[in-house]
Chains A and B, each alone.
Chain A
Amino acid sequence: MRTRRDSIRPVLLGVILIVLVQVLGAFASPSAEQGVTDSEIALGMFAPLTGFLAPTGTPARDGAMVWISEVNARGGIYGRRIRLIAYDDAGSPTEAVAAVRRLLSQDHVFALVCGSASGPTLAAMDLIRETGVPFVSCITAHRGLFQPFSRNVFRIYANEIAQGRGLIDYVAGKKGQKRIAILYNSTDFGIGGYEIMSAYLKEKYRLDFVAAERYNVGDQDFSAQSLRIRQANPDSVILHAFAAEAGVIARQVRQLGILTPMYGGGGVPTPLFPRAAGNVGVGMVAVWVFPVFPESDAPPVEAYKKKALQYLFQSGFPVGRPSLYDMTGYIGADVTGEGVRRAGRNLTREGFIRALETLRDYVPGGGLGFPVTFSPKNHEGTDIVIMARLNGHLEWDVLPPE
Chain B
Amino acid sequence: MMGVMLQAIASGMTLGSIYALVGLGFVVIYQATRTLNFAHGEVLMLGAMIGLILHTEWQFGYWSTFAVVLILIAVVGVVIERVAYRPLIRAPAATVIMSTAAVGQIIRSTVRILRTEELSFFPPMFSLEPFHIGPVVLTRLGVGITGIAVFAVMAFTLFFRYTTMGTAMRATSQNQTAAWLVGISVPRIFSLIWAISAVLAAAAGMLIAPLVLVRPDMGVVAIKAFVGAVLGGFNSLAGAVIGGLLLGVVETLIGVYVTSAFKDVVVFALLIIVLLVRPSGLIGRQEVLRV
Contact = CB atoms under 8 A, between A and B. Distances in A.
Name B's interface SS.
helix
Interface string A228-245: 100100000000000010
A11 interface: no
A224 B119 contact: no
Interface string B204-220: 00000001110101101
A148 interface: no
Nearest to B215: A244
Interface in A305-356: 318-321, 323
Contacts of A220: 211-212, 218, 220-221
A216 B119 contact: no
A223 B116 contact: no
A248 B130 contact: no
B137 interface: yes
16 contacts: A186-B261, A215-B260, A220-B221, A221-B15, A221-B251, A224-B8, A224-B255, A244-B213, A247-B213, A255-B128, A255-B139, A256-B7, A256-B11, A276-B213, A319-B117, A320-B116
B117 A320 contact: yes
Contact of A227 (B4, B115, B132): B4
Contacts of A254: 130
Identify the interface centre among A54, A58, A255: most chain B CB within 10 Å of its CB. Answer: A255
Interface string B221-243: 10000000000000000000000
Given A218-B217, A255-B137, A278-B121, A227 B7 contact: yes
Contacts of A58: 116
Given A218-B217, A223-B252, A227-B8, A256 B137 contact: yes
A231 B8 CA distance: 11
Interface of A: 52, 54-55, 58, 186, 213-216, 218, 220-221, 223-225, 227-228, 231, 244, 247-248, 251-252, 254-257, 272, 275-276, 278, 318-321, 323
Contacts of A252: 211
Given A223-B12, A223-B15, A218 B119 contact: no
Contact of A321 (B117, B220, B255, B263): B117
**What band does the interface of chain B fall in when counting residues whose beta carbon is under 8 Å from A?**
35 or more
A244 B211 CA distance: 13
B120 A52 contact: no
A318 B116 contact: yes
Contacts of B263: 224
Contacts of A228: 255-256, 260
Contact of B217 (A52, A214, A256, A321): A52
Nearest to A243: B119
A275 B120 contact: yes
Nearest to B117: A320
A251 B212 CA distance: 10
B142 to A, nearest CB: 8
Nearest to B11: A223
B12 to A, nearest CB: 7
B283 interface: no
Nearest to A321: B117
A323 B119 CA distance: 14
A324 B259 CA distance: 34
Which 9 pairs of residues, A with B, have the shortest CB-CB distance? A224-B255, A320-B117, A223-B11, A214-B261, A220-B212, A225-B260, A257-B137, A221-B15, A224-B252
Nearest to A58: B116
A223 B18 CA distance: 14
A278 B211 CA distance: 12
Nearest to A278: B121
Contacts of A231: 4
Given A223-B252, A275-B121, A320-B116, 14 more contacts: A58-B116, A186-B261, A214-B260, A215-B261, A216-B264, A224-B8, A224-B11, A224-B255, A244-B213, A248-B213, A254-B130, A257-B137, A275-B119, A278-B121
Nearest to B212: A220
A214 B265 CA distance: 14
A55 B115 CA distance: 11
A247 B214 CA distance: 13
Nearest to A184: B261
B254 interface: yes
A401 to B, nearest CB: 32
Given A55-B117, A244-B119, A278-B121, A224 B256 contact: yes
A213 B263 CA distance: 12
Contacts of B137: 255-257
B8 to A, nearest CB: 6
A227 B213 contact: no
Nearest to B263: A224
B116 A276 contact: no
A54 B112 CA distance: 10
Contact of B115 (A52, A224, A247, A319): A319
Nearest to B16: A221
A224 B130 contact: no
Contacts of A255: 128, 130, 137, 139
A318 B117 CA distance: 9
Identify the interface centre among B132, B137, B139: most chain A CB within 10 Å of its CB. Answer: B137
Contacts of B260: 213-215, 224-225, 228
A55 B116 contact: yes
Interface in B256-288: 256, 260-261, 263-264
A40 B212 CA distance: 48
